[in-house]
Structure 1
Amino acid sequence: MRVNRMQVRNRVRHAPMEWRGGRGVIYLSWHSVAPAGWRRFAEEAVAAEIERAAIEVEEKYWIHNDLFLLLRLPTGGRSKLEGWLLEQAIKQQTEWESRLRATEATEARLLAGVSIIEAEVPGSSAQPEEDADRVYEAMKRAMVHGQRDGSLVRSMKLRALEQLIAEHALMSVYQPIMSLQSEERPLFGYEALARFAKQDWFPGPQQLFAFAEQEGLAYRLDRLARRKALDGIGSLKPEQRLFINVQAQIMNDPHFTPGRTLSMLERRGLSPHNVVFEITERTSIDDFGAMKKALQHYRSQGFQIAIDDVGAGYSSLQSIVELRPDYIKVDRSIIDRIDEDDVKLHILHTLVQLAYKLDVSIIAEGIEREAELAAVKMLGVHYAQGYLLGRPGGIQS
């Protein structure tokens, strides 16, 4: 399907000039064959939305079975207009697809795309043909946007992520890490865990950070998470540690600035000797040479390093050998009911022996049962964390 420039010009040329202002395009098209009642349904649905003042339609274009809605948008900046347009499009996409599937017995998917119509430059005297060209270009952009599978949801997620970063809408909670080297189980430190209130598009931090990596926003999100972790910690005793998650990929980000974390610590009266960076093992490390160079910079400042999620990742043993961490954090998948599983016991025993030979401390994650705690302590694990020992929350005074 192609949008014809002359068709658009002829329609727009005769439209009222009060069109000019905040405007946008919603493009709706079926992934395969459109349901038989699609056109009649769409006309009625648009009329109903206009009647209840949900949208203000300036014009409708049918090109074959593809529908373009030219809408007048509410007042506001471009970001606000784009958000409103995306919300309208995803509402129509989900509601209309569901209703047509129910009545037409079709499994086809309704695609949707959006675009803002570029506004006339203030003070200019644009001709109708120029206005038509702006509409035409916006229609093409909306069509390209909509024909990428899942593009509307991706756009909403990206908007939610960017808004979260702009508003600094992350917060940190802290899960205790206890020492197992004495019966009293003294508090050794905390792991800072990122949380956020609005979960419309991301059910949890893992999905949020994974999407940020896909969209090239991992460093900005990671930097915000580090700042929030440090903001809430207050003070630590000299022997206590704050564990902060760091994605391996951000160290190769062109915006990565060594020394920023040290500056944040100094402003809060904390020492790098209290901070441990956890390098996650849930994603592969492509360049160990570059990673070692980045970690050496941190170590030279006094920070320590932990390999997180050992046992659940891609190359646990290689990461331990190459990076020589100060701590090995054994994943919950190994700890879960370890007291009932000889294979898990053997795996943890091997990791403990390796840790002792390398002079590395080992931390068991996800302790939820007394029997698990007894098993890891029996094997000589140094530290442990999990719901049994303390849920994520505030800092203990």
Structure 2
Amino acid sequence: MKYQETVYARLLNWGKLFLPAKCIKYFPPSFVLRDPIIHQVEKAMNNGYEVAVIVMDITNLHRIKQQLETEDFFHYIRVLKKSFRTTIQSTVSNEIIAIHDYNPNGLTMFIRWEQGTECLAMLDGLVKKIIHNVESGLRASGSIHPVFNTGYMFIEKKYTYLSEAIQTAHEFALAMAHKRSDTEFNKLVYTLSDIVANKSIHLLAQPIMDVETNKIHACEMLTRGPKGTSLENPLQLFSLARQTKFLYELEMIVLEKAFEQIQQTKWRHNIFINFTPVTIGNPRFIKDIKAVIRRFKGISPQKITIEITERDSFEGLEHFTNNLKVLRMLGFLIAVDDTGAGYASLNSISEIMPDIIKIDRSVIQNIDKNSVKESMLKGLLLIAKEVGSVVVAEGIESAEEASILSKNKVDLAQGYFYAKPTSLSNHLQIS
């Protein structure tokens, strides 16, 4: 009987060779003729997505193995895999590229993701949700409770061989999961600490246009890491900063660099600077931002918009609300990003009452071909009018999308249709 089961399993595995890659996303076999993961990662990247490699390391797997007989242990692993598959199918079925047991002490997920550093909070929340659901399922079945450590990294788009880029991202993600017990993690910490210590980042600026006049109203500052390195990509840089507790220092360097550029270029329009809720809620934040204001006395806070970038909740951040009040007293404008991306952003509007609402590009994309999206835009414009907020539509990529904004009297717009990010001084010449 066992022999027949083994033969059947082998035939089933070989049968997968002839299936489309999208049909073998769950624990695919490693083929000599092709690798379905590489194929699907490449396809996602060609369609404009980022791809995250997420490692879920089971720290007590060796102890579990010692507690169980061999057959029971293999059964436990099968139950664990099934639990992950069921959870993923109910949460991120459309975004999942593959889940694999590369790591002998855990599992690895490949997920396609929208571009932009604002997605990092969602990714953190998603991983926590998956693990919570898996743990709950295992507890309900009476299985031994696994202890997870997680890490993630985005696959670098500038690569010679995609397989090498995937392997590098996996090694980094594994190092993040292992944390201090891994020498690779220590290298990453050293690299980021060196970037922070030397402030070796640079900023690009993307114009925010007045829809009616088609003139520059403001610029949003966008962060890039050291040129020519894998951390030049802001997703790589900020995902590493979040996992190594350097996020606050990094965002304060961005603030300082933005003020430096405003001073050097004598920029006269508004500047948007991104901050995560956790940074705004830091007890040091007001003290540190006042120090920057004193250093750059000629720059009025009234020309600076603090853009709250993440879709996750700011609840539980003790100093967040009070720090926001102080920012307003100092003259800063407050913007909420990603409006329309979910309940959290709408809830943020009611709590923060922002001066500016930025409508997420998921609402704007192909809005000229989708009447439901235009209705959503109209609803968000009514909310903004009720709050007294100026509206910025993000991610405009075509004249047709821009025409819908003009028709609905949207105040401001931002996107590649108007201009790609470049140095602030370049925009000074055309403003």
TM-score, length of structure 1 as denominator length: 0.58
RMSD between aligned residues? 3.0
Change over 3 Å in CA distance of 1:322–1:167 after alignment to 2: same
Q: Distance in 2 between matches of 1:367 and 1:264?
A: 33
- Deviation, structure 1 residue 274: 0.1
SS in 1 for 2:395: coil
Check 1:205–1:283 CA distance in 2 against 1; reply closer, same or farther (3 A cut): farther
Distance in 2 (alpha carbons) for counterparts of 1:231 and 1:252: 24
| Equivalent in the alignment of 1:307 | 336
Verify the 8 A CA contact 2:220 2:272 in the aligned structure 1.
yes
Which of 183, 189, 206 is the matching residue for 1:175? 206
The structure-2 alpha-carbon separation of the partners of 1:147 and 1:219, relative to structure 1 and needing over 3 Å to count, comes to closer
AA matched with 1:186: K
CA shift at 1:205, angstroms? 1.2
Alignment check: 8 A CA contact 2:282 2:320 kept: no
Change (3 A) 1:279 1:348: same
- The partner residue of 1:264 within 289, 292, 298 is 292
User: After superposition, where does 1:164-313 map in structure 2 within 5 Å?
Assistant: 164-180=195-211, 182=212, 184-198=213-227, 200-202=229-231, 204-233=233-262, 234-237=265-268, 240-254=269-283, 256-268=284-296, 269-287=298-316, 290-312=319-341
Shift of 1:203: 6.3
Is the contact between residue 363 and residue 384 of structure 1 (CA under 8 Å) also seen in structure 2? yes
Deviation at 1:204, TM superposition (A): 2.1
Secondary structure (helix, strand or coil) at the match of 2:286 reads: coil
The equivalent position to 1:373 in structure 2, one of 394, 402, 424, is 402
Q: Is the 8 A contact 2:285 2:323 kept in 1?
A: no
Note closer, same or farther for the CA distance 1:186–1:158 as it changes in structure 2 (3 Å cut). Answer: same
**Overall identity of the aligned pairs, in %:** 31
Return the match for 2:352 from 319, 323, 337. Answer: 323
Match of 1:163 among 179, 189, 194: 194
Q: Secondary structure at the match of 1:387?
A: coil
CA gap of 1:313–1:393, structure 2 versus 1, over 3 A, is: farther
Alpha-carbon distance in structure 2 between the residues aligned to 1:363 and 1:150: 45
Matched position secondary structure for 1:232: helix
Aligned residue identity for 1:371: E
One-letter code aligned to 1:173: L
**Is this contact kept in 2: 1:278–1:308, CA < 8 A?**
yes
* Structure with larger Rg: 1
Shift of 1:161: 1.0
* Partners of 2:276 and 2:310 within 8 A in 1: no
Counterpart in the other structure of 1:12: none
SS of 1:346's equivalent in the other structure is helix
Alignment partner, residue 355 of structure 1: 384
Q: Say yes or no: does 1:384 pair with 2:413.
A: yes
Tell me which amino acid in the other structure corresponds to 1:156.
K
Deviation at 1:314, TM superposition (A): 5.8
Distance 2:230 2:328 in 1: 37
- CA shift, 1:165, in A, is 0.6
Matching residue's letter, 1:321: S
- In 2, Cα distance between equivalents of 1:298 and 1:149: 37
**Counterparts in 2 of 1:344 and 1:199: CA distance versus 1, 3 Å:** farther
Q: Please give the per-residue CA displacement for 1:135-160, whole angstroms capped at 9, x wherever unaligned.
A: xxxxxxxxxx9977993443332222
Distance 1:162 1:364, change over 3 A: same
Which deviates more, 366-375 or 200-209?
200-209
Q: Does the 8 A contact of 1:281 with 1:310 survive in 2?
A: no
CA contact (8 A) 2:340 2:380 kept: no
Judge conservation of contact 2:179–2:185 (CA < 8 Å) in 1.
no
**2:182 corresponds to 1:151:** yes
The equivalent residue for 2:371 is 342
What amino acid maps onto 2:187 in structure 1?
Answer: M
Deviation at 1:339, TM superposition (A): 0.7
**1:201 offset after TM fit, Å?**
4.7
Deviation at 1:313, TM superposition (A): 5.4
Residue aligned with 2:221, SS: strand
Distance verdict in 2 for CA 1:379–1:217, change over 3 Å: same
Indicate conservation of the 8 Å contact 2:394/2:414, yes or no: yes
> Does structure 2 conserve the Cα–Cα contact (< 8 Å) formed by 1:335 and 1:365?
yes
Are the structure 2 counterparts of residues 342 and 235 from structure 1 closer, same or farther at C-alpha, using a change threshold of 3 Å? same
Paired residue secondary structure (1:299): helix
Gap change, CA 1:188 and 1:232, over 3 Å in 2: same
- Relative to structure 1, the CA distance from residue 243 to residue 344 in structure 2 (aligned partners, 3 Å threshold; closer, same or farther) is same
- In the superposition, the TM-score normalised over structure 2's length comes to 0.54
Structure 1 pair 263–370 and aligned structure 2 pair: CA distance change class (3 A): same
Deviates more, 1:308-317 or 1:164-173: 308-317
Q: Which runs of 5+ in 1 are unaligned?
A: 1-30, 33-97, 99-108, 114-144
Q: Within 1, Cα distance between the matches of 2:226 and 2:364?
A: 30
